Structure 1
């Protein structure tokens, strides 16, 4: 298996993330709202942040693998623009910066009606695999 194939972790599986596209230039995935809500029945911001971190980190890991490296997250910033009560949300990570030591990805999160739910930016440190 190539080092860049995304293998979802336990949290990713628990919240229902499904990867639909994967490359160093773009990782796309979706997640159901059902099962990821807070006490008021709305999409939980933490679940949205977990989706954003997952796609951004996966993209950074694919990029790092092209350098013979791995990456670790050092910063996640997310702004929640609107809520969701049903359906799915879709996340797409694209590069903002890719260097020898840092990879930063912008993440756009939209709902089934193509409305912006959240925007995020994740920065990963590119490190040796040891």
Structure 2
């Protein structure tokens, strides 16, 4: 099976968060997530929801890059929250920074319905090959 035959499978958290995949490859993953249901007590998109969304996108891209017989494990995640949202849908775009044999790094940009950047994240995943 080629890497292009792989399809992302949503986990329990992504399903609860309402994530929908629009595009998927090792170089780029695009998905959306509703703000409703992912807000904190003050009515703003929760920063933890943004971080979890970013981690999911970057990890999916890394496993699509790594291919069959592999697992990926996030070893570093950082996120800068530039602004928040109170409604609508956010879009996350994970773009490869470096795709290696043992490490894959992706930048994830999360934007609101007006295209304004809400969050910039970066994740590095360790690629674990099957024994």
Shorter-chain TM-score range: over 0.9
- The total of aligned residue pairs comes to 129
* Cα displacement (A) at 1:101: 0.8
Aligned residue number for residue 85 of structure 1: 86
Uncovered stretches (5+) of structure 2, i.e. residues with no partner? none
CA distance in 2, matches of 1:40, 1:93: 28
* DSSP 3-state at the match of 1:34: coil
Map 1:84-103 to 2 at 5 A. 84-103=85-104
* Cα displacement (A) at 1:118: 0.3
Aligned residue number for residue 31 of structure 2: 29
* Cα displacement (A) at 1:129: 3.2
Matched, 1:106 2:107: yes
* DSSP 3-state at the match of 2:121: strand
Q: TM-score, normalised by structure 1?
A: 0.94
Aligned residue number for residue 72 of structure 1: 73
* DSSP 3-state at the match of 1:35: coil
* Cα displacement (A) at 1:60: 0.3
Aligned residue number for residue 39 of structure 1: 41
Q: TM-score, normalised by structure 2?
A: 0.93
* Cα displacement (A) at 1:71: 1.1
CA distance in 2, matches of 1:118, 1:4: 27
Computed over aligned residues only, the root mean square deviation of the Cα atoms, in angstroms, reads 1.5
Aligned residue number for residue 5 of structure 1: 7
* Cα displacement (A) at 1:13: 0.1
Uncovered stretches (5+) of structure 1, i.e. residues with no partner? none
CA distance in 2, matches of 1:4, 1:60: 12
CA distance in 1, matches of 2:70, 2:42: 42
